[in-house]
């Protein structure tokens, strides 16, 4: 039995008291008779006696015992409980009083009949923690396979499987809870310790593994125990936001004080006009509202739950299912696509029943298809859980990803702007946590049901027929890097072709294309678990590709070999399908697999050895070349004569999906805005109601990003695809509707940025649309510099997050200009999405002449030519006024009269200004919030297997035209302690005056490129306090620089010039790589384009696909409206790309670079920009500089220094040496490939 324990410390015990149902219903006072456990065997007559009264109403059913096997002998009350002696009265209709009396006598009655909608037999909508509050007797009655009671109803035959399933990751949710707590700085344990588990009575339990794991088991990911999720009211914040710092007055403890009735005096609690007390508690961490908001989100916001301990929400297509064993083994109607549902597709997608039982209404959703267990489980059943980022995201298996609110917007948004009432908002968000759903058409369940029926009319995408969480999922199609659709032969399909989506390749897994479902790869152990507790999905899997497909040298053994496989593996050749056939069978030298879902369907397995063997009918030259390529980069010879030890792509060093992944979903962040004035129930444990609720808002979800890194030890440390994964930005609105912090990323427990990445199995294997040589190595055409930057996790600036405000340096100050809506979706004002999501507000914006309304500013003693927002601080180089750090945490707080401040009190209490003679620029090694001081000690380095920070991440780097290079340690601003907020120089360096006239600097790992009078001075800061001059690049009048992988681009008095920095100590100015501009000021690199702030010439857009042959694509001045472009930054919002231009005296200009309307290839890696001026703000002072947006696709720097957290134990980005192995030979020279 699972052990119920009292939680200690912050693991606060959850009270086991009779709770109200979510709607406030009081529990009925019922004395229950506990049914005995179902017997393992019995005589048929005995079983019949336990069903005699039941079948007087339920006269026909599908499988009387739920089992197809005739050897299973059970009566109805063996499983369900109840009274089988009560017979249906003759002559009385259903619904009559005698019938109702009989029903009450025969059935187990619920404690919460209204919430269950008793006597309805359908699963109730949004039940969540109702199962914990309900009596176990009634839980057993409605679902004997629920884990709370499955031991009684099913344990006599299936106890080992039940014990394993209770501990499986599908029940515990340990990866989401553990990853969320670590990645967001709440708990420091990367061997996760949190998971969901309940007792028979619905109490939270600590879940123990069957044994204490030894060192070998620990290395494979086995965990000893999991604790319940702490209550959010007492969990200290992991965030270092300013509102969580000490010093609060007015927010008191949420719990009663004992013997201290007036902790804070009345006078002290008066609010200062224009500066309210925003600290969240007058006590320590874990009191008042000084709590962990992400933990609150997990309790309250529908993230990837409900999981196996709860019923599905049973309210929209894709959300119909039961709990426990029945969650998988009892099929519901969720999806009409035969590729997803197999033979069940004909049943529809609204949870209607096809049961032979006459008492089951066929027109009410929430019923299973039949009263029958099955192992022929369709993918559509799996997708009722696995459709969300933190829950493996199996949408990609089917060829879908999350919709971005923009594609085919005219079909999805109402013509008139929706202004929902509070009741409407709550009703929609109970089903769908997206804030945008309350404004879109899909907030209506009836509209949602027919979304896929619109596919023939759509222009931009195609939608799936399932809608778990109430979401929409768009199809992925084969495209080239410009975003043009491609057919199976690689030919371009015209965007004007009415049959384009039929001709283009839908990028589902090849497994789906042949008719496979999840259960055709993941068998009993993968589904139920092996009895141990794991914290990560990859650790809990027993199957590997080679088990079924073999290797280049051997045919498959059909023995499982994954991390969780038992010693010697499970023998797949012994398995049979639900239809009694062998699942795998060798027939005439061919390996045949038979479908587990569709009777009669079978296919020949693709065997790797056949594909590399000349003369074999399945020989594939490209496959043979890839699999047998020698590691000799000079010869690049290949063939079966290359010994396995000499091959470049060894099975023990690379996962198969490194090449066979056709695409990977990439989540560029999710916004969770907490609002104190929503009172909502917790969705776990006791389900109590309390204030605070956050919606869940995906920001950028793309399919054009491919990245590589190293997997953890459970997967042998092999090279694997990596994706950006569910990074949060958090906001909070208090009871006074003051936004006390906005769009803030937390910091991971390891001190890394919380812009999380993880090795990821995307389930998108294909034969033709695999990765090719030029996706991972330098192309002979030299046209994949941006692809390589993306691959190595350096980032490409495409997905950067500008946010609610664009931050500007001005001639005499700094300004924040509001550029998006606050409501979800947070559309850029004046944009394509703005027009459809907010048509009324868009119209008003047009009437204002597209002028942005809101600006907050702060004066400085000199011009601010360089600035950077990081977290709640704005770092600025202010000329003769030196280096200043502004506190901008209150920028959106309506209670503050001064939103930007240099200090909240006198310099005696905080001084974050450093005097310099003429500060010209500031650069942070990362604009992602980090805290290197956390990343030290045995826990981080050895147990959590984290890499150390490079020491350069401790500093802000300032260029000064007179003093040279100045380093300032800024870690004090990320430790959550306000009493040490003092900055001072750590280094001032200008050896021999080499940095005289320093005016700009760019940081690329160890290397710093300083634009000075001497040219571009290349410094090595491997030891930041001992700079070394590597060389000086002889370019004159340099105004700004930027680096992308092997190339540095500089804007000079001549224009844009390219420099090869493959070897930074030996840079090479590329001859002829010059695009002339008469007065270029700054350059910003975004994938294959350089955006040049070109003064009077406006915004220059240069094609740098081949960095050695840059080409002017366009000079854009918005018909003369951009007249003095000084700086430009670029970022993505939803599916569109935007440029933010500092236009001198004209202020800020917002340019939409692409949208579904202007660029049909907007889903491509780097479509041609189609710039449109959509908004402007004539700022208080001339605009000179723009702060860069948060990097959302950068995990590591150019010299291998890790920046962002990797969410799986032991996984990491490549080191510098591992990166260089992909493109440099032993002599350090580049080598090149062709597909």
The pLDDT tens digits of the residues spanning 825-841 come to: 999 999 999 999 999 99
Q: Token pair for residue 1109?
A: 């042959």
Using a 10 angstrom Cβ sphere, with 0-12 exposed, 13-18 middle and 19 or more buried, the burial of residue 574 is exposed
Q: What is the pLDDT of residues 397-421, one digit of tens each?
A: 999 999 999 999 999 999 999 999 9
At residue 260, the pLDDT reads 58
On the question of pLDDT at 261 being above 60, the answer is no
Question: Which of 598, 607, 499, 452 has the alpha carbon at shortest distance from 545?
Answer: 607
Q: Tell me the mean pLDDT in the region 209-226.
A: 96
Specify whether the CB–CB gap between 194 and 174 falls below 8 A: yes
- Tens digit of each residue's pLDDT (9 = 90 or more) over 1026-1077: 999 999 999 999 999 999 999 999 999 999 999 999 999 999 999 999 999 9
* Entry field: residues in the chain: 1235
What value does the mean pLDDT take over residues 730-743?
A: 96
Does residue 552 or residue 304 have the better pLDDT?
A: 552
CB atoms within 10 A of CB 772: 15
Give the mean model confidence (pLDDT) for residues 697-712: 96
pTM exceeds cut of 0.75: yes
With bands split at pLDDT 50, 70 and 90, how would you rate the model's confidence at 745?
very high
Q: Which of 1032, 1038, 966 is nearest to 1000 (CA)?
A: 1038
Return the structure tokens found at 495. 């965007």
Based on the number of CB atoms within 10 Å of its own CB, is 869 exposed (0-12), middle (13-18) or buried (19 or more)? buried
Q: What is the mean pLDDT of residues 290-302?
A: 90
Average pLDDT of the chain, as a whole number = 95
* Partners of residue 206 on adjacent β-strands: 3
In this predicted structure, the answer to whether residue 7 has a pLDDT above a threshold of 70 is: no
Q: Mean pLDDT, to the nearest integer, of 947-951?
A: 97
If you average pLDDT over each of 275-279, 315-319, 384-388, which comes out highest?
315-319
DSSP 665: -
pLDDT of residue 1148 exceeding 60, the answer is yes
**CA-based diameter of the chain, in Å?**
107
Residue whose token pair is 């993505």: 1132
Instruction: Check whether 297 has a pLDDT greater than 70.
Output: yes
Assess whether pLDDT exceeds 90 at residue 392: no
Residue among 830, 865, 900, 859 at smallest CA distance from 1177: 830
Question: With 60 as the cut, is the pLDDT of residue 1165 above it?
Answer: yes
Tell me how crowded residue 499 is: count the other CB atoms within 10 A of its CB.
Answer: 9
> For residue 12, is pLDDT > 80?
no
Cα distances (Å, whole numbers) of residue 1211 to 486, 536, 1167, 1205: 34, 12, 32, 9
pLDDT number for residue 271: 82
Say how many CA atoms lie within 13 Å of 91 toward its Cβ: 0
| Three-state secondary structure call for residue 689 | strand
Most confident by average pLDDT, 22-36, 253-267, 1218-1232: 1218-1232
Query: H or E segment at 115?
Result: helix 113-116
Q: How far apart are CA 220 and CA 1164, in angstroms?
A: 38
pLDDT attached to residue 905: 84
The C-alpha atoms of residue 1003 and residue 925 are separated, in whole angstroms, by: 6
Q: Which of 287, 372, 358, 280 is nearest to 326 (CA)?
A: 372
Q: In the prediction, which pLDDT does 9 show?
A: 34
Mean pLDDT value across residues 1133-1156: 98
Q: What's the confidence (pLDDT) of residue 17?
A: 38
The per-residue pLDDT for range 958-1003, each reduced to its tens digit, is: 999 999 999 999 999 999 999 999 999 999 999 999 999 999 999 9
Do residues 967 and 951 make contact, with C-beta atoms less than 8 angstroms apart? no
Percent of the chain with pLDDT over 70: 97
pLDDT in tens, 319-346: 999 999 999 999 999 999 999 999 999 9
pLDDT at 355 over 90: yes
Predicted local confidence at residue 3, as pLDDT: 29
Q: Residue 1168: pLDDT above 50?
A: yes
Write down all domains in the chain, each with its CATH number in brackets. Answer: 302-475 (no CATH), 513-660 (no CATH), 805-1206 (2.130.10.10)
As beta bridge partners, residue 797 has none
**Residue 15, pLDDT score:** 32
> What's the average model confidence in pLDDT over 688-699?
93
User: What percent of the chain is predicted at pLDDT more than 90?
Assistant: 91
**For residue 611, is pLDDT > 50?**
yes
pLDDT bracket for residue 257 (50, 70, 90): low
Section 667-675 average pLDDT: 93
The DSSP string of 764-802 is: -B-SSSS--GGGTS-BTT---HHHHHHHTT---STT-B-
pLDDT in tens, 452-466: 999 999 999 999 999
In this prediction, residues 676-683 reach a mean pLDDT of 94
């Amino acid at each position: 039995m699972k052990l119920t324990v009292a939680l200690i410390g912050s693991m606060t015990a959850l009270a086991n008291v009779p709770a109200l149902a979510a709607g406030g219903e009081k529990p009925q006072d019922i004395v229950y008779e506990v049914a005995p456990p179902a017997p393992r065997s019995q005589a048929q007559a005995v079983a019949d006696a336990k069903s005699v009264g039941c079948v007087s109403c339920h006269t026909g059913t599908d499988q009387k015992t739920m089992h197809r096997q005739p050897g299973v002998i059970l009566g109805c009350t063996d499983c369900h409980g109840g009274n089988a002696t009560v017979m249906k009265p003759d002559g009385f209709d259903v619904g009559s009083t005698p019938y109702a009396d009989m029903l009450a006598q025969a059935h187990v009655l619920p404690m919460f009949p209204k919430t269950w909608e008793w006597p309805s037999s359908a699963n109730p909508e949004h039940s969540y923690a109702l199962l914990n509050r309900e009596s176990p007797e009634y839980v057993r009655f409605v679902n004997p396979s629920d884990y709370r009671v499955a031991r009684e109803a099913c344990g006599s035959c299936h106890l080992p499987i039940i014990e394993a399933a209770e501990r499986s990751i599908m029940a515990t949710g340990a990866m989401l809870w553990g990853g969320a707590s670590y990645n967001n700085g709440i708990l420091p344990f990367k061997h996760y310790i949190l998971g969901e588990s309940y007792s028979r009575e619905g109490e939270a339990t600590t879940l123990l593994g069957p044994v204490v794991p030894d060192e070998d088991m620990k290395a494979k990911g086995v965990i000893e125990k999991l604790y319940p999720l702490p209550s959010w009211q007492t969990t200290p914040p992991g965030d270092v936001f300013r509102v969580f710092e000490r010093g609060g007055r007015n927010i008191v403890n949420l719990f009663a004080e004992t013997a201290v009735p007036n902790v804070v005096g009345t006078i002290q609690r008066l609010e200062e006009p224009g500066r309210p007390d925003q600290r969240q508690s007058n006590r320590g961490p874990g009191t008042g509202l000084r709590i962990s908001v992400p933990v609150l989100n997990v309790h309250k916001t529908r993230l990837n739950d409900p999981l196996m301990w709860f019923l599905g929400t049973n309210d929209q297509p894709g959300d119909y299912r039961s709990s426990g064993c029945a969650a998988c083994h009892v099929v519901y109607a969720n999806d009409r696509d035969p590729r997803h549902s197999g033979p069940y597709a004909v049943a529809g997608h609204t949870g209607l029943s096809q049961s032979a039982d006459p008492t089951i209404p066929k027109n009410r959703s929430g019923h299973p298809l039949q009263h029958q267990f099955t192992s022929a489980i369709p993918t559509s059943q799996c997708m009722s859980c696995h459709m969300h980022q933190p829950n493996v995201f199996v949408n990609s298996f089917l060829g879908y990803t999350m919709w971005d609110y923009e594609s085919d917007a005219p079909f999805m948004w109402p013509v008139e702007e929706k202004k929902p009432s509070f009741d409407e908002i709550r009703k929609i968000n109970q089903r769908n946590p997206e804030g945008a759903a309350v404004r879109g058409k899909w907030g209506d369940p009836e509209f949602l049901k027919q979304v896929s029926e619109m596919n023939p009319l759509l222009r931009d995408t195609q939608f799936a027929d399932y809608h778990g969480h109430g979401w929409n999922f768009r199809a992925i199609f084969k495209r080239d890097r410009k975003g043009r659709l491609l057919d199976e032969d690689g030919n371009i399909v015209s965007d004007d072709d009415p049959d384009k989506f039929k001709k283009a390749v839908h990028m589902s897994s090849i497994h789906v294309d042949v008719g496979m479902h999840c259960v055709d790869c993941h068998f009993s152990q993968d589904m139920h678990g092996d009895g141990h507790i794991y914290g990560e999905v990859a650790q809990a899997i027993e199957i590997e590709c080679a088990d079924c497909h073999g290797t280049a040298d051997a045919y498959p053994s059909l023995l499982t070999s994954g991390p969780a496989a038992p010693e010697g593996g499970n023998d797949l050749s012994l398995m049979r399908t639900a239809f009694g056939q062998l699942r795998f069978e060798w027939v005439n030298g061919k390996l045949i697999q038979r479908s587990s879902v569709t009777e009669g369907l079978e296919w020949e397995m693709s065997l790797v050895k056949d594909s590399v063997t000349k003369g074999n009918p399945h020989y594939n030259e490209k496959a043979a070349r890839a699999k047998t390529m020698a590691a000799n980069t000079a010869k690049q010879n290949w063939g079966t004569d290359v010994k396995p030890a000499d091959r470049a792509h060894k099975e023990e060093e690379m996962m198969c999906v490194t090449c066979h992944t056709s695409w990977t979903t990439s989540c560029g962040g999710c916004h969770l805005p907490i609002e104190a004035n929503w009172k909502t129930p917790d969705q776990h444990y006791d389900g109590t109601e309390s204030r605070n609720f956050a919606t869940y808002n995906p920001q950028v979800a793309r399919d054009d990003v491919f990245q590589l890194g190293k997997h953890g030890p459970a997967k042998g440390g092999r090279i694997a695809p990596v994706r950006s994964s569910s990074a949060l930005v958090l906001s909070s609105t208090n009871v006074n509707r003051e936004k006390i912090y906005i769009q803030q990323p937390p910091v991971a427990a390891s001190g890394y940025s919380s812009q999380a990445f993880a090795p990821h199995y995307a389930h998108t294997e294909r034969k033709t649309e695999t990765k090719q040589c030029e996706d991972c190595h330098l192309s002979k055409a030299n046209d994949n510099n941006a692809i390589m930057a993306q691959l190595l996790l350096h980032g490409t600036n495409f997905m950067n997050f500008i946010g609610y405000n664009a931050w500007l340096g001005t001639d005499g100050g700094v300004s924040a200009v509001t550029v998006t809506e606050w409501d979800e979706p947070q559309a850029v004002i004046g944009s394509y999405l703005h027009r459809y999501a907010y048509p009324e507000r868009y119209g008003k914006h047009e009437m204002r002449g597209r002028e942005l309304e809101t600006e907050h500013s702060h004066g400085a003693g000199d011009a601010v030519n360089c600035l950077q927002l990081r977290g709640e601080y704005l770092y600025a180089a202010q000329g003769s006024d030196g280096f200043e750090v502004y506190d901008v945490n209150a920028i959106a707080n309506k209670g503050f009269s001064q939103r930007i401040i240099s200090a909240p009190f006198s310099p005696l209490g905080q001084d974050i200004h450093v005097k310099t003679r003429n500060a010209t620029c500031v650069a942070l090694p990362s604009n992602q919030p980090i805290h290197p001081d956390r990343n030290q000690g045995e826990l981080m380095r050895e147990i959590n297997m984290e890499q150390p920070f490079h020491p350069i991440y401790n500093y802000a780097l300032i260029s000064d035209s007179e003093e040279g290079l100045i380093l300032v340690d800024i870690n004090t601003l990320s430790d959550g302690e306000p009493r040490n907020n003092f900055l001072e120089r750590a280094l001032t360096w200008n050896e021999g005056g080499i940095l005289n006239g320093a005016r700009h600097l760019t940081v690329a790992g160890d290397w710093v490129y300083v634009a000075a009078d001497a040219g571009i001075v290349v410094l090595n800061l491997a030891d930041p306090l001992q700079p070394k001059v590597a060389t000086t690049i002889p370019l004159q009048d340099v105004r700004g620089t930027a680096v992308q992988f092997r190339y540095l681009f500089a804007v000079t008095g001549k224009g844009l010039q390219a420099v090869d920095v493959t070897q930074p100590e030996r840079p090479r100015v590329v001859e002829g790589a010059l695009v002339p501009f008469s007065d270029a000021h700054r350059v910003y690199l975004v994938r294959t384009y350089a955006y040049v702030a070109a003064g009077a010439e406006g915004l220059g857009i240069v094609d740098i696909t081949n960095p050695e042959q840059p080409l002017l694509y366009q000079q854009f001045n918005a018909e003369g409206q951009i007249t003095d472009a000084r700086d430009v930054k670029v970022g993505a919002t939803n599916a569109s790309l935007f440029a933010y231009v500092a236009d001198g005296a004209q202020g800020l200009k917002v340019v939409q670079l692409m949208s579904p309307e202007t660029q049909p290839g907007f889903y491509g890696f780097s479509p041609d920009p189609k710039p449109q001026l959509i908004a402007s703000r004539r700022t208080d002072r001339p605009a000179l500089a723009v702060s860069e947006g948060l990097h959302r696709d950068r995990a590591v720097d150019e010299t291998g220094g890790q920046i962002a957290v990797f969410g799986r134990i032991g996984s990491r980005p490549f080191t510098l040496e591992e990166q260089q192995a992909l493109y440099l030979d032993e002599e350090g020279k580049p080598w090149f490939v062709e597909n």
